[in-house]
Amino acid sequence: MQTLILPGYSKTNKEWVDETAKNLKIDGIIRPFYWMHWTDETAKFDPQEKAELIAKHIKKDNVNIIAKDEGLKVANILKTLIPNQITSIN
């Protein structure tokens, strides 16, 4: 089981990602995500592209998703790409 932490668009969400990952008391892999445009202003944020990339990397694992704002858009796309692997979205 993997737990994905998908933040909002703004780089101010980095603190939220770090705190959420640190405070989780669960078994399995915790995967916090840091969007590339936070450090590279030329990087484009495309929720569909992010969801497809994540879906490829999680392979056949089941996942829980913790998301906010733009991360929730990514989570909803993931739900359509790999519906049988999503355990919960919070």
**pLDDT value of residue 14:** 96
Q: What are phi and psi of 9, to 5 degrees?
A: -70, -40
Query: How large is the average pLDDT for residues 60-89?
Result: 95
Give the tens place of pLDDT for each residue, 7-64: 999 999 999 999 999 999 998 999 999 999 999 989 999 999 999 999 999 988 999 9
83 CA to centre of own chain: 15
pTM given for the model: 0.93
Residues 6+ apart with CB under 8 A from 17: 5, 7, 32, 33, 34
pLDDT at position 77 over 90:
yes
Q: Within a 13 Å sphere around the CA of 87, how many CA atoms are in the beta-carbon half?
A: 11
**pLDDT value of residue 59:** 86
**All structural domains of the chain with their residue ranges:** 2-89
